[in-house]
Amino acid sequence: MSIELSETKSLATTRKSKSTEIERAIAKLKPVSEIDEYLKMVVYSRNKVGKTRFACSSGLKTLLIDCNEKGFASVRRFSNVTVYQMARWEDFDPIYWYLRGGTHDFQVVVIDTVTMLATLGMKWVLKDDVERDFNRDPMTPDKRSWGKLGEMMKDVIIRTRNLPMHVVFTAQEKTTNSEDEEGGTIQETHPELSPSPRSVLLSSVGVIGRLYTREVENPEGKKKMERRMLLGSHPKFVAGNRYDELKYVERNPTLQGFLARIEGENGASASTTQPSS
């Protein structure tokens, strides 16, 4: 009889627990129009095209996490930008928990660049491997090393993406050859990152933009270089976005302009505090 009573109490406890979980799930239901949305974006290009400058162009208070890229000279006069310099992989966790804690007033965080972040990660992996096996070559990663780095990078990408603020990942670009659906060879340009973490990076953001320059003529007939950003699907360049407010190709793009259109004219009303281009 006591066994039956115990089983009845256990069943009642289980039902109550399930009911509580259901109530918590219901409390999370919210119309999509009422969800506070932050822009999560990847921007990539060749060297010195303007990735860092674009990422810091919102006019909002921005934390630039420099992953040993040393590319912040282009934004040295931007009064809205604070730089955190990473020299080692271990430097990431402290700044992440600071941002996660919410005791700051940063509205944008920039990872500059995920390509160099992966380089820092590989240095940590190789050092860790050598400490475990002194016979290992400290300069040569193997399949296990790449697998460990891939999992580390995916973790950092998702954790950073989930921060309650606007997030911009910058990356160098790389062109690779792959096989298409009919057995032919296609050439594709994409952010420079190994395949597994690159797939997570590209799928976890709302905008993938390739920044490039184009020579144009002004009304006086003088030629100048104009920055443009590809945001639509392309057979050669990886790009895309989930916002109807953004064009297939944006001319002279700024993060402030993107936010203003995505959030509405009053959504990104902070004044521009960086010098004009």
In a domain, 84, yes or no: yes
Residue bearing the bigger pLDDT, 2 or 194? 194
Comparing 14-18, 203-207, 237-241, 255-259, which segment has the lowest mean pLDDT? 14-18
What tokens appear for 79 in the block?
Answer: 């009064």
Residue 221 or residue 77, greater confidence: 77
- The mean predicted confidence, pLDDT, of the chain is 85
- The DSSP H or E segment spanning 72 is none
Residue 86 lies in a domain: yes
Domain of 49?
Answer: 40-208
198's tokens: 């690159």
Tokens of 194: 């190994």
Assigned token pair, 271 = 């004044």
| Burial (CB count within 10 angstroms: exposed 0-12, middle 13-18, buried 19+), residue 68 | middle
The three-class DSSP label of residue 120 is: helix
For residue 246, tell me if it sits in a domain: no
229-238 burial: b if 16+ Cβ within 10 Å, else e: bbbeeeeebb
* Structural domain count, the chain: 1
Residue 52 domain-assigned (yes or no): yes
Whether 221 maps to a domain, the answer reads: no
pLDDT tens, position by position, 24-70: 888 887 776 666 689 999 999 998 899 999 999 999 999 999 998 88
Confidence band for 23, pLDDT divided at 50, 70 and 90? confident
